[in-house]
Every structure is written in structure tokens, then in C-alpha cells.
Amino acid sequence: MTTHPTTSGTGQCPAHLPTPPPPPAGPLPIHGPAFNADPHATYQQLRAHGPIAPVEISPGVYGYLAVTYRAALYLLQNTPARFAKDPRRWEALRRGQVPADSPALMMMQPRDNALWKDGAEHARLRHAITSSLARVDTHALAATVRRIADQLISAFATAGQADLVAQYADPLPMLTMIEMFGCPPDLGERIVVAVTRLFDADTDGVQANAELEAACLQLTHLKRAQPGRDVTSHLITAGLTDAEMVQTILLVTGAGSTPSSNLIMNALRLIITDHRFAGTVHTGVKPLADALDEVLWHIPPVSNYSPLYAIGEQSYEGVYLQQGFPILVSFAAANADPALPFAAGTRAGNRGHLAFSAGVHMCPAPDLARIIVETALERAVDRLAHLTLAVDPGQLTARPATFHAGLTTLPVHFQPDNHLPAPGRR
């Protein structure tokens, strides 16, 4: 199969470029209400095109999406030998043909951090991250998450009802990251709220990005003047410039907040609604780790990301990969690939999923992510007795699904705990 998504003309000076031809008939949108409602229906259609298929990433922005496990792994394991991360290879971006307010631009533009670098620069910046995160005390981290979780739950435990997205899953990773980075609460909230807006691929992405960068720079200046035993200070000792600090804080907080929130909320939904887990987690018949493994396979927190660019003319299993177009990896489609030799529901303990990516750009601290999420789930299950969904499962709505998989709300009922002191007086 040969597909040629095109948005630009030939290699002329941008000032003399002809009007870009329309995209081919093949690309399917991975944005908008229909996609958000049922992404897997689109992934199934895309697999009919081939293992890597042409897509519209956001309005007027075109590229490819890897939708099989084999293709995703091939791309990730052949970076940077065959595929580069550097967004300066994005032809439409070079030609000024990506709308300035495009949600895709905010998530895919060049940044001075490890995610967008190749070779020695990537190794240097990634080492700064891994060495800083390696200094996190995992026992202290778990204790921090337990304390934050209990504070959040105590605020609504007597009500017998809550929205576990707004009141628990969203704020918990945010508050945890604020402490890890030694960030004043108001500044930390600004950072993570802006990150969430970028992941949601909203129309105010430009403003969210500007606010995020300004807050990260403020935190950098604060920690240069008053270093501590926190991740920000550790990054500074690695010798990063202010520009690199801003983008690295953005990267790590982005990777640690919204995806962790998605994991918490989707695992709680599974525990509440799926007969394989409802009740059995509470009684200890099934460990929380099994529920988390199921979510990492079936609803990875980052759906489609890791943009790559072909180095030279290439094809994969008969699919021509045109240079200059971003190739996204669909972690959601890859994990759900019907060609995999095991079915959903049989994956407990199997960590061959791609939820944390793979290759040289894989998540630098998946164990820290699991500590945060598993501890959050443990506290919710222990403290919220008789937890049930307050609406029909079909009424739950997804956040914009281009880049991540989460819920807008998770309303629940549970047995009120009327023996708690007032919040803040424990």
C-alpha cells in the first residue's frame, strides 16, 4: 500500500510556495467529537489502511499514525537510527503552514528538552532527568502520596458522594509533583493546570504554553537563588541553562501529572464497574496492581504521541513514509492490536504494554509513576466503602482524546464516614 499525505508543494522558498494541495482521501481525523467518543473505531479503520496510516492530527495538520504493536515497536526501537525526534524536520512547520493556534503545534513544536532531541544532546538532557529522579526517596514519595490522598478524601468523605476526577484524580498528582519539585503551591498549580490544558488540545494552547513557560522560569529562578533537596534543584546542579530548565520542568511535570491523573481515574472506573475487579480488589482477591496493568494495556494514559520523522525515504510493510511528516505512535491502538497473542482480561502481571513507550525515549521513571498511582488507588479503595458509580457508565464523557485518555468527571456514591474531624484539623 502506498499513501502520500501532502500539505505542501515542492521545496521552494516559502514566500513563493504555491497553494498546498488538499490532503488525500485516506487520512482520518484523530480529533473531534466522533473520535473522542470512540477512538478505537478509528484505530480499526486505520488498520485497514496498514500498520502505519495517514491521519489528520488536528484541523489542517497531517501526518501518520502507527496503529499496530509491531509498527509502534519498530518505530520506537529504531529511533534515532531511522527515525528522528527533532521537530525541525517537520516540513509544514518549516514552511509556516501549521496554524499558530493549532493544538498539535503546542504538543509537537521544538523544545529544549530531552523529548525532542537526538544523539548526544538527547543523552545529556535525559541523564539530567534520570539522575535527578533517581535521587527521589521512594518511601518518602509513597508517604507524601498517602498524606495528600488522605487530605483530599477527608475533604469529601462525610458527603457520601464526590467527583473523583475533580476532587481526587486530578489534584493528587499535581500536589505530589509540586512537592517533588519544591514548588510553592500557587506556582505549582499554575504549572500543572497549564500542562492539563495542553494535553486537552484546547484552542487556548498558545496562552497555556506561554503561562506554563513563564511559571517554569519563575520556579527556576527561585531554585537558583534558594536550592533545596528537590527535583528542580537537582536539575540545576546538572548544569542546564534557563531555557533547558524551563522545558525540562515542563516535560517532567507534564509526564508526571496528567498521565498519572488519567491512570488513577481510569483504574478507579475499572474497579467500580468491571465485574472482574468490582469487589475483588476491596476483598484482596485481586491486587490493585492487576487493575493497573489492565488499564495500562487497555486505556494507556497517553493515547497518541511520540512524534517521529523518517530519516531518508522509507517504507514499512508496504507503507511509504514520506519525509517531513510527523509519524505519531498510537500507544492505545498498539496495545489493543488484535494481532497480539493474548486477549484483554488476561494481562495481569504482563508489562509488555507500550504505555510507558519503549526505546531510548521511554518513560525515565515508570516505577515512580506506579508508586504514585498505586498508592492513590490503595487509599481510595481503603477509605471509600461501597464505592459505586453515580451515573450510568454510558454517561461518562472523555476528555479530548488526540493525545491522552481521561474522563471529564467520575461521579460516585460511597458510604459516608461521619467519624472524621473537619478537614485540616486531623
pLDDT band at 13 (very low <50, low <70, confident <90, very high): very low
Decide if 389 is inside a domain: yes
- Residues 352 and 246 sit within 8 Å (Cβ to Cβ): no
Question: Is the whole-model pTM more than 0.85?
Answer: yes
Q: Give the domain extent around 182.
A: 19-413
Q: In this structure, is residue 341 part of a structural domain? A: yes
For residue 202, tell me if it sits in a domain.
yes
Residue 423 within a domain: no
- Answer whether residue 369 is part of any domain: yes
Region of 290 please: left (phi>0), alpha (psi -120 to 50) or beta: alpha
**Number of domains, the chain:** 1
Sheet holding 388-389, edge to edge: 161-163, 411-413, 388-389
Give the N- to C-terminal CA distance of the chain in Å, as an integer: 64
> Angle at which helices 288-298 and 366-383 pack, to 10 degrees?
120
In this predicted structure, what is the pLDDT of residue 279? 64
Percentage of the chain exceeding pLDDT 70 = 88
Give one DSSP letter per residue of 233-289, joined into a string.
Answer: HHHHHTT--HHHHHHHHHHHHHHHSHHHHHHHHHHHHHHHH-TTTTTTTTTTSS-HH
The whole-number average pLDDT for the span 72-99 is 96
Q: Please report the DSSP string for 329-382 in residue order.
A: EEHHHHHT-TTSSS-TT--TT----STT--GGGS-S-HHHHHHHHHHHHHHHHH
Lowest mean pLDDT of 88-102, 135-149, 184-198, name the range.
184-198
pLDDT band at 344 (very low <50, low <70, confident <90, very high): low
Alpha carbon distance 196, 191 (integer Å) = 9
Report, as an integer, the average pLDDT of 230-237: 97
Structural domain contains residue 420 = no
pLDDT (average), residues 288-315: 94
390 assigned to some structural domain: yes
pLDDT tens per residue across span 150-181: 999 999 999 999 999 999 999 999 999 999 99
Unique residue bearing C-alpha cell 476532587? 167
* Dist. CA 294–CA 336, nearest whole Å: 11
Task: Specify the CATH number for the domain of residue 317.
Answer: 1.10.630.10
CB 152 within 8 A of CB 167: yes
pLDDT of amino acid 254: 86
Please indicate, yes or no, if residue 425 is contained in any of the structural domains.
no
pLDDT tops 80 at residue 309? yes
